[in-house]
Structure 1
Amino acid sequence: MSGRGPRLTRVAAQEYRRLARSEGMPPATHPEVQRDRDIPVRAHDGAALLTDHWHAPDAADSTLLIRTPYGRDGIAGVAKFIAERGHHVIVQSCRGTFGSEGEFSPLHDEVADGQSTLTWLRAQPWATGRVHTWGGSYFGVTQWALCDGPDRPDAMGIAVSARRFDDGIIYPGGGFAIDTTVAWSFALRMQERPLLARIGMILRAASALRRGSLTVPPAEAAQAAVGTDPRFFRDWVEHSQRDDPWWEPLHFAQDLASIPPVALVAGWRDLFLQEQLKDHAALVAGGVPAKLAIGDWLHGAPETSVMGVRDALVSFDSLDRLPDVRIEVTGGIGWRELDSWPPPAESRVWAATAAGGLRPGAPDERATPLSYRYDPADPTPSEGGRTLGPFASGYRIQRRREARSDVVLFTSDPLDDDLLIIGEPRVEITLTSTNPRVDLFVRLCDVDERGRSRTVTDGYIRRNPEAGTHTVLQLASLAHRFAAGHRLRLQVSSGAHPVYLRNPGTADPIRDHSRLLPSEQTFDVGGEHALALHLPAVDGAVLRPMS
């Protein structure tokens, strides 16, 4: 069934123009592209999954497959751009979205529906060559799911996504990502509504998300924010215990032998960062061809699409043409290439002092206890972070957070020389509490000459009451230059709400908010159990200019 041609929505047209203006893109070779709309691809249970086919009359036999719950029109700019470079492009709406039959139940049908789609695709007379897949976030989830069936793509281009969706964005650090989960529920509820209704929801979004994040019990947060009660949200609250077998079928591509060559695009400010880097390490260790690029991006940033499309067009020829590791080094350096991730580094220890200082070298021999009070009724604000919610994400000035009594600060003297940190920092701390059920959140900041403190990276853990008081907390990976004249600042606290749901201090911190129990935390600077920051310092010679 032929449509009337590749007409684009305003948003898709902007995406197309952004791709066309981007450096390094190959020229269009097949400008006469058409779009065959609403092809009903039958799933295993007979549900029609509506699918668009973008192609030029004389296109090659290679195909790019994109499966999305966010609408085929939204990705039409990418589809048209790639089709103009001689490839077939298939864009399919996931079950229960944008005209596809069935009910959208996140993650649950992606293996079977993806296999049905691949079976249909392989049977098309024009699809006799390689089949690649592409896309980020949930698009990436659908790609990982394709690895769990008898058929699989020849290569994948996955941006800001991970094989384990639960560990990646729902329960980071063992807590609950209330901002991300409510924001996603809000976005799904909004996306297929009429324009005026969407505008109204956007205007109310900030207050709605805040209301949801503070709802008691948290299982009703989506209902409070969105006005609907999606089953998946309640499932996520109910199955929040680590290693709950409910999640096991939804951990995709766990057999490394099932994974084709893959190009990964990650972001320093993205919520999938740490889990995606775990995926990359596992792929490399398992001998799976894997390329990695990490930019200074929030989730959903248009730059991830630009890099992903460029990489996809290169990988149709050969994935080997891509560098092994590309990173954007923040702090004014920009894009560089590495031989591997992480690069060789020297671990440098920075010790906190009783006067609120932070200095390189061993801690003082004398222990000095410091204390702060955490009150879940007045949760410590996140002021930025890796989250899907637009009102709490990214790098933020830390003035409001650092003025609070429940955030303890340690600040270095101005640096004499640049300090290049690449890899995964860690903090060692021995924290005692009047309530053993307490969270730990540590943030590393860059303080400029004017005294403005900005997030660089942070780490979070919901502490296990049975694990003892000593904690080694891994902060999220980074590649940052602290410039000469700048200072390092370390924040220690027990919360970062709403990026991580406040811990009420009760037996089940995710489901049970019947009581909100304040607690007093104490830790030492100096002595045998001193707070220590370990930074992976790197020689700038390991960084190569982009080829």
Structure 2
Amino acid sequence: MISVDVPIPAADGGPLPADVFLPARLPAPVVVVRTPYGTPPLWPEAAVLAEAGAAVVLQDLRGRYRSPGEFVPGADESRDGRAALDWIAARDWSDGTALLYGTAYEAYAAWCAADHPSVRGVVSRQPWPGGPPAMDDELWWRTELGTGRHLRPGLYDLALARDPDLRGVLADPASWPVAPGPWPPTPSTWKAQARRALTRVRGAHVPSLHLGSWYCGSATTTLRQAALARDATVVMGGWASPLTHRLSPECAIEVPDGDDPRDLALSFLAALAAKQDPRKAVGDRLLTLGAGRWDDTSPLPPPAPALDPAPLRPATARSTLRHDPADPYPSLPHSADLSVIGGRDDVVRLAAHPPVRWYGAARLRCRVTADAPVELVATVVHERPGGARVRLCDGTAPISAGTQDATVRLAPVAVDLPEGHVLHVELTAGRHPRHRAPGRALTLTVELDPGTALLVPRPRKESP
């Protein structure tokens, strides 16, 4: 049985519509997805879960699609989520237990309501917020997903074509096609929401599945939440998702075969609904980039891993780059082949040849002299034998005017490069539009020891 436009009272009493899928046998446990992205894309998954014996409730969040009010990211999900779960638990078709599920902002909404007494499990895929946001990813999310009542697919790229270096929106946010809110992003725009989600994760005493992708800015958040959860199953893959980054026909990402994250989520939820062990349905596993290998091991890195140097080969041990605000060092989406950028003199590039292997968050140490404040960006790039170069991860460190020691903490990743592949570390003054570039010309000098500059977590075990 399927019912659409079912009114569910929100915290203030107003109705937030939902679609309800009921299985043949009732009462049943209820899978709940509260979404800002519209419910129709979730109908196929809801039908599969109903066939497996679970009821499903798909609800539009406050201010999105059919629901009245204003959508303010991060504002209403705790109280509205609890109100929805109160209503669901009181239905005669509910057995009084709820399973929460969601991708990106949906995962945040799920965690906000995870302290409700009816909750018996959570599935979180590539959760929002993803920590300190890359500027292009954050503006894309706000443009196409996070403002107004409906999604606006394709609007970011259309607007970017008219303002390719984002100078317009940086100078005047009102010039952008949608109101992006506080811009550019600062810690005040995401830290409160991140703390709220982490508090709910830490307090949850239920099984949880954490699905993450190394190619997504939320990889750090996925692992941090999984490390805090009491009963976590974790799968880190290389999935490309339209909710995490934009893809093009010329996509340079190679995603190896493996379980689809939706299949993993549905298997986990179906096992919970049947009162079975969900770990047996999914199991921890880890994709190692470069080698393209899946390991049946927990992707959670140790909290304080031992670090070993990974020798680099710079052109010189001392390098100077000059930033030109009229031509800042460019960034491209995750899917892009960075080799098209070509040679430039406003980058310090280092290389490491196999064996290159680590798992977790690496660090880069250097001494920097700058004649003005700047954000130093370190980008790790994987070059395949054919010449295609794809970003693996990056990190930033604020630099003040003068000379100082700097440590860039890179986003976590699992890397094992085979022979014939090369790892590059690129140091730039910003990386526009992903990381904001200085608005004035400046000179940046980087000194490092190529033998000890890059510190990588020691592998936990040898490759099979």
| TM-score, with structure 2 as normaliser | 0.85
Say yes or no: does 1:215 pair with 2:181.
Answer: no
Matched residue type, 1:399: S
Residues 215 and 303 of structure 1: CA distance in aligned 2, closer, same or farther (over 3 Å)? farther
> Over residues 99-150 of structure 1, what are the superposed CA-to-partner deviations in whole Å (9 max), with x where a residue is unaligned?
11211111111111101101101100111243101111011011111135x5
Distance, in Å, in 1 between the alignment partners of 2:104 and 2:299 is 24
Q: Secondary structure at the match of 1:62?
A: strand
Q: Secondary structure at the match of 1:130?
A: strand
- The counterpart of 1:101, out of the listed 48, 68, 92, is 68
- The counterpart of 1:393, out of the listed 307, 328, 334, is 334
- The counterpart of 1:472, out of the listed 383, 395, 407, is 407
Say yes or no: does 1:307 pair with 2:264.
Answer: yes
Post-superposition offset of 1:212: 7.5
- Structure-2 residue corresponding to 1:23: none
Say yes or no: does 1:481 pair with 2:421.
Answer: no
Matched residue type, 1:409: R
- Structure-1 residue corresponding to 2:106: 139
Distance, in Å, in 1 between the alignment partners of 2:315 and 2:437 is 29
Give 1:373-392 correspondences, 5 Å limit. Answer: 373-383=322-332, 392=333
Residues 135 and 352 of structure 1: CA distance in aligned 2, closer, same or farther (over 3 Å)? same
Say yes or no: does 1:185 pair with 2:106.
Answer: no
Residues 498 and 531 of structure 1: CA distance in aligned 2, closer, same or farther (over 3 Å)? farther
Contact 1:63 1:132 in 2 (8 A): yes
Identity %: 21
Post-superposition offset of 1:522: 0.5
Query: Could you say which structure has the higher helix fraction?
Result: 1
Post-superposition offset of 1:541: 4.0
Residues 215 and 304 of structure 1: CA distance in aligned 2, closer, same or farther (over 3 Å)? farther
Contact 1:315 1:321 in 2 (8 A): no
Contact 2:140 2:156 in 1 (8 A): no
Give 1:429-508 correspondences, 5 Å limit. Answer: 429-435=366-372, 437-461=373-397, 463=398, 465=400, 469-500=404-435, 502-504=436-438
- The counterpart of 2:347, out of the listed 375, 386, 407, is 407
Contact 2:24 2:53 in 1 (8 A): no
- Structure-2 residue corresponding to 1:359: none
Distance, in Å, in 1 between the alignment partners of 2:107 and 2:42 is 14
Contact 1:144 1:252 in 2 (8 A): yes
- Structure-2 residue corresponding to 1:336: 295
Give 1:105-116 correspondences, 5 Å limit. Answer: 105-116=72-83
- The counterpart of 1:78, out of the listed 30, 34, 45, is 45
Matched residue type, 2:408: L
- Structure-1 residue corresponding to 2:256: none
Post-superposition offset of 1:374: 1.7
Distance, in Å, in 2 between the alignment partners of 1:50 and 1:371 is 58
Contact 2:358 2:457 in 1 (8 A): yes
Contact 1:379 1:496 in 2 (8 A): yes
Contact 1:147 1:253 in 2 (8 A): no
> Over residues 428-467 of structure 1, what are the superposed CA-to-partner deviations in whole Å (9 max), with x where a residue is unaligned?
11111011x2011112223333444332322223x05399
Post-superposition offset of 1:499: 1.9
- Structure-2 residue corresponding to 1:421: 358
> Over residues 203-258 of structure 1, what are the superposed CA-to-partner deviations in whole Å (9 max), with x where a residue is unaligned?
x642413527613452744x4342x32xxx32464x72x46899379723515234
Q: Secondary structure at the match of 1:338?
A: coil
Distance, in Å, in 2 between the alignment partners of 1:352 and 1:480 is 16
Say yes or no: does 1:533 pair with 2:454.
Answer: yes
Paired residue total: 444
Residues 259 and 212 of structure 1: CA distance in aligned 2, closer, same or farther (over 3 Å)? farther
Contact 1:179 1:209 in 2 (8 A): no
Say yes or no: does 1:355 pair with 2:315.
Answer: yes
- Structure-1 residue corresponding to 2:321: 372
Residues 433 and 100 of structure 1: CA distance in aligned 2, closer, same or farther (over 3 Å)? same
Residues 105 and 191 of structure 1: CA distance in aligned 2, closer, same or farther (over 3 Å)? closer
Distance, in Å, in 2 between the alignment partners of 1:155 and 1:191 is 29
Post-superposition offset of 1:180: 2.5
Say yes or no: does 1:206 pair with 2:152.
Answer: no
Contact 2:2 2:21 in 1 (8 A): yes
Say yes or no: does 1:293 pair with 2:235.
Answer: yes
Post-superposition offset of 1:525: 3.5
Matched residue type, 1:319: P
Structure 1 unaligned spans of 5+: 1-33, 357-367, 384-391, 505-515
> Over residues 340-359 of structure 1, what are the superposed CA-to-partner deviations in whole Å (9 max), with x where a residue is unaligned?
62279764313445535xxx
Residues 419 and 250 of structure 1: CA distance in aligned 2, closer, same or farther (over 3 Å)? closer
Post-superposition offset of 1:269: 0.5
Larger radius of gyration: 1
Matched residue type, 1:371: T
Residues 377 and 138 of structure 1: CA distance in aligned 2, closer, same or farther (over 3 Å)? same
Residues 305 and 468 of structure 1: CA distance in aligned 2, closer, same or farther (over 3 Å)? farther
Say yes or no: does 1:282 pair with 2:228.
Answer: yes
Distance, in Å, in 1 between the alignment partners of 2:226 and 2:136 is 26
Structure 2 unaligned spans of 5+: 244-258
Distance, in Å, in 2 between the alignment partners of 1:350 and 1:57 is 58
Query: Could you say which structure has the higher strand fraction?
Result: 2
CA RMSD of aligned residues (A): 3.1
Post-superposition offset of 1:192: 4.0
> Over residues 318-352 of structure 1, what are the superposed CA-to-partner deviations in whole Å (9 max), with x where a residue is unaligned?
33435663111222443211156227976431344
- Structure-2 residue corresponding to 1:260: 206
Contact 2:307 2:456 in 1 (8 A): yes
Residues 537 and 398 of structure 1: CA distance in aligned 2, closer, same or farther (over 3 Å)? farther
Matched residue type, 1:185: T
- Structure-2 residue corresponding to 1:14: none
Residues 245 and 314 of structure 1: CA distance in aligned 2, closer, same or farther (over 3 Å)? closer
